[in-house]
Structures are given as C-alpha cells and as structure tokens.
Structure 1
Amino acid sequence: MERNAFFDNAKVLLIFLVVFGHVIQPYIDGSTGMHTLYTWIYTFHMPAFIFLSGFFAKGFGDKGYILKLAKKLLIPYIIFQLIYSSYYYVIGKSNWLTDMFYPHWSLWFLISLFSWHMLLILFKRLPVYASLLVAILLGITVGYLAAIGHSFSLSRTFVFFPFFLLGYWLKEEHILLLKRRSAKVLSVVVMVTIAICIYFAPEINTGWLLASKSYFDLGMQEFGGVARLLVYLTSTLMAASVLAWVPFKRNSMTKLGERTLYVYLLHGFLVQYFRAYDVFEVNNVLDVIGLAGVSMLIVLGLSSKPVLTMSQPLIECKMTNMKKMVKSYRTYETFSR
C-alpha cells in the first residue's frame, strides 16, 4: 500500500508514547499524577498500534506472505530474545534466563503480530460483525483460563486480537470520519473524562491494560469478563479519540513512521539501563517534561540512519543500508582521487 502521512504520523506519536510510558513506569507508585498519566497512556497506545497493524494486513494471503512474515517477525524475535537475555545478565537483572517462548519485555508484540496474521486465515472468512463478536468473546474467555498467560504471548494475542481485526476490516474512509469537527469535540470530552476517572477512581491495576494476566491474578475472578468488556470499550474510545487529532499532512517527523519497529525493538536497551542504574528521578512536573524530552531523543536517535544501518541485519535480516553506505564511500573515494 502507498504510504499515507496520517498513518506514519500516528505511528510516530504512538511509538513516542510507548517509549515515554516505559521511561516513566518506575515512578508511578506513590504519585497519583504519574499513575494517572501512565494509565491514561496505556488505555490506548498499544490498542491503537495494533489497530494500525491490522489495517496494513489487508494484503495477507498473497503468495509467500506467511514465509515473508515469519522472516520479518519470528527471526528477529529469536535474535532479540537471545540478545536481551545476554544484556539483562550484564546489567544484573534477575530474570535474564528465561524460556525462549517466554518473551522478554516488549518482544511479545512480534509473536502476537505473527499469530494475529495466522488467525486472519480463519476470521477473514467470517462475516465482519460475527468475526468481531467471536474475537471479543475469545478475548474475554481467555481471562478465565489461568494456564493462558505470558508464555507464547497467548493471553495478549487473544485479548488484543479484536483491535487487530477491527483495523483489518475498516477502510480509510471510515477513519476519515474521525476528522469531523463533531468527532474532535467528542474526542476531547472522552480523553478528559477518562483522565478524570483514572485520577479519582480507586487504585487501578494496570494489569488490565497489559492483558497478560488471568482474572484470578487480577483479583476479579467472577466479574473479570465484565471488567474486560469495559476495558475494550474504554480503549476503543480512547484510541479513536487520539487518532482524531493526528495530522493528515506530512511534516518533519512523518518519515520516522517508517522506522518504528527499530525504535520498538531497540529502546529497551536504554530503558532497562536507566532502570537498572536509577539514572533519573521524578520530583516535579519539570522532571516529567524532561523525561518526555529524553523519550523523544530516544525515538530520534534510534530512527537515525547510523542506527538503521547497523541494526538492519538483526531486525530485517538485510544489509541494503550497509551496502549503500559502502557504495557511497567507494564513490566518494573514486571522485576524491
């Protein structure tokens, strides 16, 4: 599909929020404001990201697609699972040694993304509303099964699948409806209302938003299905509200939307280092703004050409950037003689 500035702009915003959310996570305990900000971000940033992934899965089923997908997602998963294990050992994290299919931190997304495409083989054969209903029921049901959790990213795969499937079914004209003035006004009401609810509500277990635990682990075994349904509704409204404000025009940051996978896979090395050595602390609003600046620098740095060139063999299993660099260097050498 031809690249659309709206989607690239949305991906840049969301990857920034992913990094920012991970950076501020150690500081949410004991601070209602930080907990509110963190929880507010988590109500929508991954559902929106997953929705966009589903939107760009419309070509699924083409010849060789599954093989290409496995190369794009599963091989980097294995590589980075090993790299993160080694890195965690170096910085002294206790959980460095783990099963190959117990994803380190953010690597769950690669397994789940591959699995969502596999689920499409069946679900795209169903009528739209029936497929979404079944996906939601599956997402609700798995919460009652304690055996389904973090391993193989099974819990997150089923819980987040409705967002992926919704993205698959919707067309660009549906998303354009979010740009109406009435939709934007409503979106502000939704975002502010949910922020206020989070602030004044009793302590909210963010495990509901991470989607990796059973209802028993979350302390709501009987009414967990109702709670998850409310989370689905909240996340959908929040994702739509945030996307309503994403610009459609290209800007200086739009190009970074093509490089979000690099930021996603690499930012963990920096964030885990910050956490292991207590690099930052938060005492006031200026500190939070500073962490937002650090998060933006991480996004910019990990999207830079030198980082793309060096890490492309690990992430894309290709060396096109490195070959271009070598070719440019040789051309420069030739003309400089």
Structure 2
Amino acid sequence: MKRDAFFDNAKFILIYLVVFGHMIQPFTETKIIEVLYNFIYIFHMPAFILLSGFFAKGIGEMKYIWNLFRKLIIPYLVFQVLYSGYYFIIGDASWQTVWYEPHWSLWFLLSLFCWHILLILFKKIPVNLGVSIAVVTGIVVGYINSIGHEFSLSRTFVFFPFFLIGYWLSKEQIVKLTQPVIKWAAVFVVVIVISILTATPAFSSEWLLGSFSYQDMGQPIWGGLLRLGVYLLALTVTCSIFAWVPRKTYHWTKLGKQTLYVYLLHGVFIQFFREAGWFKVDHIFDIVGLAMLSMIIVLLLSSKVVFVSFQPFIEGKITQLKQWRYERRQRREEELLQ
C-alpha cells in the first residue's frame, strides 16, 4: 500500500503519546498528571490498533502469516529474554516473569499476531455482525477471571473490535475525519472529556488497559456496561484525535515508519528512570521537561543508527545494514573520483 503522510503523521504522534504516557505514569497521584494520563490512555492504543487493522488488508495467505510470525512472535521471544536480562541488571523484580506473560509493552506483539489470525475468520463475516460479535466477546471476557495477562489473552479480546473496525475502514472514510466541521466537533469532544476527567473523582485507569477482569476492578455485575461505555468513549476520542492529524508531509513524517522500533525499545529508558527514581513532578515545568525528554527518546529510537543496529533483532534481516554499507562504498568511490 502506498504510504500516505496522514498515516505516518498519526503513527508518529501516537508513538510519542505512548512514550509520554509511560513516562508520566509514576506521577499520577498528581491530579493534572492523572487527567493527562487517563485522557491519553482513552485513545492512544485504540487508535494505534485501529491503524494496525487498517493496514492488515493482505491477511489470509500462508506466506503473510509466516511473515507475521517472523515479525511479531520471534521479536516477542527475543525481547522477552532481553528485557528479563535488562530488568535483572537494573534490579527490577519482574525479570522473573515467565515467557508467556509479556513484559510490559510486549503484549502488543502477541495480541497483534492473534488479531491477524482472528481476522481470517472475521473478514468472512458481514461487517456489522462481525464488529458486534467482537464487541460482545470483549465485554464477556471481563466476566471470566481466568482470562488475564497470560498470553495477552484479555487484551487480545478486549481491543480486537478496534482492529476489526480499522480493517473495514477505507482510506477515504478515515481522511474524511479531517473535514473542518468534524475538527471543531472534535475540539468540543476533547474539552468535554477532559472537563469530566478533571471534575470527577479518581477514575481507575485499569478500565483503559483491558487486562483486568471486572471482579478485579470491583464491578463484577456492571462491568460489562462500563466496558461498553469505554468502547464508545475510546472510539469517539480516537476519531476526534484523527480529525486534527495533519495531512501534509513534514520533516518528521518519515519517522512514522519506525514506530515499532520506538515501541519495543523505549522501555529500556522508561524502566531505568523508574528504578533510578530520578524525576518528580512539583510544577508545570516538570511536566514540560518530561514531555521534552519523551520526544528526545522518540527521535533517538527513530534514528537510522537504531534502525540499522536493531533490524536483525526486530525484523530478522539486515537489509538496512547492507544499504548502509552500500551507501558508504558509494560515497567513498565518489570522493576518490573528485
């Protein structure tokens, strides 16, 4: 599929919010951070998952599935081992996590693979029926206490509706969200949501993570209705954010291609900072500082040096290293000819 600036811009913005959200998570006892954190978590993963579904149009062929295994499951196993070793070095007790309980953000790789497999069946079902089944399934699993973090099963089922919706959306439908009338409606939605988050008592972010049963979150009876509300809220805010994603190409647009690298590697920084306890939030300038540091991490992990160095671990190939060597050789030959 030909690259479109809108989607690369969206992916870059979303991966930045992923990093920033993880950066501020330890400071959510502060009201302003709590509101900011919850607002980001309402939409940032649903939006990312929706885009992942949009780009899953080729699912079905065995070669495609093998490529998914190579790109998702193998990196999951590699980084599960790497993060275990890293956590042990920095003194994080979670290094002992078993292989089928994803370290922190690695759940996304397992779930993404499962969403593609589920899509083989669901793309044969009429869109409205399929999405309805996915939503009902996501609601029902919350009542089953045994479905949780292992193999990322809970998140797989809870977030699958967004992946399926993204699959059925066309490029024209998504881009239509950037129309002026929708943009101003989006501003209204965002203001209302932030106002409600600010005015209401503490809202548990566990409802936004998709990895806990209703029993664990203290709503064994009405949890399903609350999850349905979270679905509607997440989809509404996601559309509102997409409405303001620019469609032009900027110098940072190309960095939207590297979001998987940022996603897999930013935990090295975040977990180190958490263990070291270097930061605290006392005023607005601390938040600005964390926002700037998050951007530095994103830019660093989007760099070509990181791309070339970690491609063998993440994609299982060395095409970028070969390209880099070829370009160096070309430059040397040009210098000799001058």
**TM-score, with normalisation over the residues of structure 2?**
0.97
Q: Structure 1: which amino acid aligns with 2:4?
A: N
Task: Write the deviation string for residues 185-224 of structure 1: whole angstroms up to 9, x where unpaired.
Answer: 1111111111111111121110000110000001100100
Distance, in Å, in 2 between the alignment partners of 1:250 and 1:240 is: 21
Show the counterpart of 1:194.
193
Task: Write the deviation string for residues 278-321 of structure 1: whole angstroms up to 9, x where unpaired.
Answer: 12221111110111111111110001011111111001111111
Distance, in Å, in 1 between the alignment partners of 2:334 and 2:246 is: 43
Matched, 1:7 2:10: no
Distance, in Å, in 2 between the alignment partners of 1:132 and 1:295 is: 35
Shift of residue 63, structure 1, vs aligned partner: 4.7
Moved more, 179-188 or 324-333: 324-333
Show the counterpart of 2:41.
42
Secondary structure, counterpart of 1:163 in structure 2: helix
In structure 2, relative to structure 1, the CA distance for the partners of 1:273 and 1:214 (3 Å cut) is: same
Q: Structure 2: which amino acid aligns with 1:7?
A: F
Matched, 1:291 2:290: yes
Show the counterpart of 1:160.
159
Show the counterpart of 1:271.
270
Distance, in Å, in 2 between the alignment partners of 1:16 and 1:275 is: 18
Q: Structure 2: which amino acid aligns with 1:313?
A: P
Show the counterpart of 1:128.
127
Shift of residue 330, structure 1, vs aligned partner: 3.8
Secondary structure, counterpart of 1:148 in structure 2: coil
Matched, 1:204 2:203: yes
Q: Structure 1: which amino acid aligns with 2:130?
A: S
RMSD of aligned Cα (Å): 1.1
Task: Write the deviation string for residues 17-53 of structure 1: whole angstroms up to 9, x where unpaired.
Answer: 0000000001111x11110000000000000000000
Distance, in Å, in 2 between the alignment partners of 1:252 and 1:172 is: 23
Secondary structure, counterpart of 2:95 in structure 1: coil
Extract unaligned runs of 5+ from structure 2.
none
Q: Structure 2: which amino acid aligns with 1:199?
A: T
Shift of residue 135, structure 1, vs aligned partner: 0.1
Moved more, 96-105 or 321-330: 321-330
Show the counterpart of 1:246.
245
Distance, in Å, in 1 between the alignment partners of 2:281 and 2:209 is: 23
Q: Structure 1: which amino acid aligns with 2:16?
A: F
Show the counterpart of 2:323.
324
Distance, in Å, in 2 between the alignment partners of 1:334 and 1:8 is: 34
Distance, in Å, in 2 between the alignment partners of 1:250 and 1:329 is: 28
Distance, in Å, in 2 between the alignment partners of 1:231 and 1:54 is: 19
Q: Structure 2: which amino acid aligns with 1:44?
A: F
Show the counterpart of 1:217.
216
Task: Write the deviation string for residues 142-163 of structure 1: whole angstroms up to 9, x where unpaired.
Answer: 0000000000000000000000
Distance, in Å, in 2 between the alignment partners of 1:112 and 1:148 is: 14
**TM-score, with normalisation over the residues of structure 1?**
0.98
Distance, in Å, in 1 between the alignment partners of 2:237 and 2:257 is: 24
Show the counterpart of 1:226.
225
Q: Percent identity?
A: 52
Show the counterpart of 1:143.
142
Shift of residue 324, structure 1, vs aligned partner: 2.1
Distance, in Å, in 1 between the alignment partners of 2:169 and 2:334 is: 52
Shift of residue 176, structure 1, vs aligned partner: 2.4
Shift of residue 333, structure 1, vs aligned partner: 4.8
Shift of residue 61, structure 1, vs aligned partner: 1.6
Shift of residue 121, structure 1, vs aligned partner: 1.0
Show the counterpart of 2:27.
27
Distance, in Å, in 2 between the alignment partners of 1:177 and 1:187 is: 13
Shift of residue 325, structure 1, vs aligned partner: 2.3
Distance, in Å, in 2 between the alignment partners of 1:245 and 1:200 is: 25
Q: Structure 1: which amino acid aligns with 2:5?
A: A
Task: Write the deviation string for residues 122-149 of structure 1: whole angstroms up to 9, x where unpaired.
Answer: 1111111000000000000000000000
Shift of residue 181, structure 1, vs aligned partner: 1.8
Q: Structure 2: which amino acid aligns with 1:160?
A: F
In structure 2, relative to structure 1, the CA distance for the partners of 1:132 and 1:328 (3 Å cut) is: same
Show the counterpart of 2:16.
16
Secondary structure, counterpart of 1:51 in structure 2: helix
Secondary structure, counterpart of 2:7 in structure 1: helix
Show the counterpart of 1:61.
60
Distance, in Å, in 1 between the alignment partners of 2:324 and 2:57 is: 33
Matched, 1:116 2:123: no
Extract unaligned runs of 5+ from structure 1.
none
Moved more, 323-332 or 69-78: 323-332
